[in-house]
Chain A
Amino acid sequence: MIRLLFRRLAQGLLVVFVLETITFFLVRLLPGNPFLGDRKLPEHIMAQLNNLYGLDQPAWVQYLNYWKGMLLHGDFGPSLVREGVQVSTIISQAFPVSLEVGVVGMLIAVCVGIPAGMLAAWYRNRWPDALLMLPAMAGICIPAFVTAPVFGLVLGSHVPGLSVAGWDNPLCVVLPALTLGLINAAYIARLTRGGMVEVLAQDFVRTARAKGCGPARLLYVHAMRSGLLPAVSYLGPAFAALITGSFVVETCFQVPGMGLHFVNATTDRDYFLIQGLVFCYGSLIVAANLVVDLVLVALNPRLRSQGTA
């Protein structure tokens, strides 16, 4: 288990390094630069700005300087669009907001998706299955830019305490988290159903049933451990995506999270902010996948022997 942990950590570090490197060079290939505004800057001003931030140097020199700053000072550098503000300041303000929305959203997704998937599998091809899988399919098909404004208008305007948009009271987290949570619940329900249907058809389940095992014990003790494996694999990257924010949901609900910065930094060519956000996102994906791997090993003893081998 320890060896698996260290091997995955080493792989994760490599993944983040490669991700940062690719991002570094790709964003510099995009047309434009961070200093483009409504009005064209005189050439001498543009040259001075490029010089001030080292953007007039060859890309490989900028790349070495970036890693020097990261490794020696643990510093992502300054925002090129919001001059005078460090990238770390922006991320440290936005991340807790996205984390809050993501955690609540994931709780909703798990609490709704897993029971729905298990029930649908139990009643496979009968009316409860259709009743549960129809909204799940709708949740997968209907994009967030439709559900978010609808929730805002229908629930935000009419349910006391909820808010159409904004981030000025604790209940503001409900609708963004609900939007993200239900979309993910739909995926989780489908994956859980698929996994459970497969497991429920296996011999050991039939044996347990023949021995007089009740439905609750059959589902929760015998089938669930294996049946949840596909959903658990999905949860890792989904959780990382949720806590790094969603541009659509954050725009619709005016949530000051990471998603807005992600898109704005890219369209504004805020190179250092893009690097910082990609670093956070990559690290979270790696961490979430690591946790998922460990959970999968704990759930499935066969993986344990493969992992240590």
Chain B
Amino acid sequence: MLSACGDGRSSAEKFAEAGILVIGNNAEPQSLDPHKATAVADGKIISTLLEGLVRPDAQEEGRVHPGMAASWEHNADASEWVFHLREAVWSDGKPVRAQDFVYAYKRLLHPEFAGRYAEMLYPLKGAEAYNKGRAGWEEVGVHALDARTLRLTLNGPTPHLLQLVLHYTWSPLPEHRVEACGGMLDRSSRWTHPGNWVGNGAYVYSGHRFNDYLSVSPNARYWRAGAVRNRGIRFLPIVNGYTETRMYMGGKLHITNNVPPEMLARVCEVVPQHFCQDPYYCTIFYRLNTTRPPLDDARVRQALSLAIDRETLVAKVVRGAGKPTGVFTPPGAGYAAEPPAFMQAGSRAEREEAARRLLAEAGYAGGKGFPVLELMTTSRDVQRVMAETIQAMWKEVLGVHVEIRSCEWTAYKSAQQSMQYDISSSSWSGDYLDASTFVELWRSGGGNNCTGWGSPECDAAIQAARVCGDAAERKTHLRRAESIMLEAQPIIPLYTSERTYLKHPGISGWYPLMLDNHPLDAVQLPMPDKP
């Protein structure tokens, strides 16, 4: 399959011989500093360089293993956790201490540091107040009891804390190195540059050229160094899915990031044994600006939602790379949301009839008098085609017309976040495997709500989940909050996304994971074919 070059071997084969995994990573990383990075591409690299209290299982969704913490215990309602750190060292030989965790959390939350992902630590008691300059650091629930014991005090019961701390924002930082390179608050610090880098993960940072590659090599001082199953990773920041797929076919990569929908049929025909389609903890949906008429009327929003044939959308637009959904949180981690009552009408024809009825009740029978709304999308092909398909469905079923506005990414995000839109294509992927990462979005006035919708009942259910120590009861509160939101339909859920990518069939240690947080140290390369 792989085309040869030079001496007859493809570069993927040469790297495989050297034990180096070459993987498509979607975009050029913004930063390797876990307190500046926010992109998924950055997180994948950082997770190989820094290890937090626990580490994910390579195969089983949601299962964690001891990382820097060898063991842990919590009080009865899981609002206070004590982690006992193992004897581990940074890549420069200095010991990893509980104080390095405290230092890291203080840096991310420091009111003068402007950590973009500081919200990830808000479950810590006093963290939000400290971050907003309304409380001192001593009030934040992070304490190093000694060099190897870390106590985290949380705002309330947090039985899912181990899922939260898997995220790279909960990693420790080498205090000695950060201080030597400018100090805690220096945003231009060069501690993450090659030559300065110090980490405690399975790999150390070894090379980088912008828009070309970023490479990591094994950390000989990593506490599980003997268990690392490859001799390095080369991340290629290939934004264009067509280029990436061609490069895979041309023997340049072992694993790609994604296959564009237009190439799925061809790829399945040519290299079916290389093609993978995994569930992804991500939902594609449309936001509706509920502050603008006629979208301030729930019946209009419900009608628009009912008129969309999600099955057709998934089959024709994304070519099967997803599952139609009427809910927001993808199923997983023991949580399954229920579609709202109005969505439970039986056949397609019945749903369309219900949509027309709702629109008529709102005063727009047959679409008469309905203003021309604007549907905003990014300039990505798949989003544009999806918008055109939905535009046609609304026209056909409801007789309403929407104009499509395709924006470049920053203009799109700016308009969405400042609510300068009518309808906006959107997606949301979970930071951790728990329904709260989706449901909490819909708090009244929440930063990422961006629909103008809010409900005291929904807020109350979310708050009840926050203070609930019982895992099952907590899920019931979250499910109730999501049901309230879905009934009001400030968003139109379309489908849960699935990752489509190519992987060399000889690779082992790589299993489908919804968060796409594969521990890459577990990945073993294919043995090259004998000449």
Give A residues with C-beta under 8 Å from B.
Answer: 30-33, 35-42, 44-45, 48-49, 52, 78, 81-84, 90, 93-94, 149, 152-153, 156-158, 160-169, 171, 250-257, 260-261, 264, 267-269
Contacts and interface: CB of A to CB of B under 8 A. Distances in A.
Interface stretch (B113-121, B301-309, B340-348, B498-506): B113-121
Contacts of B411: 30-32
Given A32-B414, A163-B250, A169-B11, A39 B238 contact: no
A83 B30 contact: yes
B188 A83 contact: yes
A49 B5 CA distance: 47
B252 A164 contact: yes
A48 B247 contact: no
Given A44-B131, A254-B211, 6 more contacts: A49-B116, A52-B187, A82-B31, A93-B209, A251-B243, A252-B242
A263 to B, nearest CB: 10
B249 interface: yes
A52 B114 contact: yes
Interface string B239-253: 110110011011010
A33 B131 CA distance: 22
B132 A44 contact: yes
B38 interface: yes
B133 to A, nearest CB: 8
A103 to B, nearest CB: 19
Contact of B243 (A48, A78, A81, A254): A254
A83 B36 contact: yes
A256 B3 CA distance: 22
B77 interface: no
Contact of B250 (A33, A156, A251): A156
B116 A37 contact: yes
B410 interface: yes
B236 to A, nearest CB: 7
B247 A256 contact: no
Contacts of A254: 211-212, 236, 238, 240, 243, 247
B243 to A, nearest CB: 5
Interface of B: 3-6, 8, 11, 28, 30-31, 33, 36, 38-39, 111-116, 118-119, 131-133, 187-190, 192-193, 209-213, 236, 238-240, 242-243, 246-247, 249-250, 252, 408-411, 413-415, 417, 447-448, 450
A35 B116 contact: yes
B118 A84 contact: no
Contacts of A268: 410
- Central interface residue in A30, A90, A164, by most chain B CB within 10 Å: A164
Best-buried of A49, A161, A163 by chain B (most CB within 10 Å): A163
Tell me which of A82, A84, A149 has the highest count of chain B C-beta atoms within 10 A of its own C-beta.
A84
A153 B238 CA distance: 17
A90 B210 contact: yes
19 contacts: A30-B411, A31-B414, A37-B39, A38-B38, A40-B450, A41-B116, A45-B116, A48-B113, A48-B114, A52-B187, A153-B246, A164-B3, A164-B250, A165-B243, A166-B11, A166-B236, A251-B243, A253-B243, A254-B211
A30 B211 CA distance: 25
Rank and list the top 3 A-B pairs by shortest CB-CB distance, nearest first: A164-B250, A48-B114, A32-B414
Contacts of B408: 267
Nearest to A81: B30
Contacts of A157: 3, 249-250
B39 A38 contact: yes
A250 to B, nearest CB: 8
A161 B5 contact: yes
Nearest to B238: A254
A168 B251 CA distance: 12
Nearest to B181: A84
A166 B330 CA distance: 36
Given A40-B448, A165-B252, A49 B188 contact: no
B415 A31 contact: yes
Contact of B31 (A84, A251, A255): A84
Given A39-B447, A84-B31, A261 B247 contact: no
A254 B242 CA distance: 11
Contacts of A38: 38-39, 413
A185 B212 CA distance: 28
B414 A165 contact: no
Given A31-B411, A164-B250, A40 B242 contact: no
B490 to A, nearest CB: 16
Given A38-B39, A42-B447, A165-B250, A267 B5 contact: no
B246 A45 contact: no
Contact of B240 (A90, A160, A251): A251
Given A165-B247, A254-B236, A31 B30 contact: no
A163 B12 CA distance: 12
A78 B190 CA distance: 12
B243 A163 contact: no
A260 B212 CA distance: 11
A256 B450 contact: no
A165 B411 CA distance: 30
A248 to B, nearest CB: 10
Contacts of B250: 152, 156-157, 163-165
A160 B410 CA distance: 41
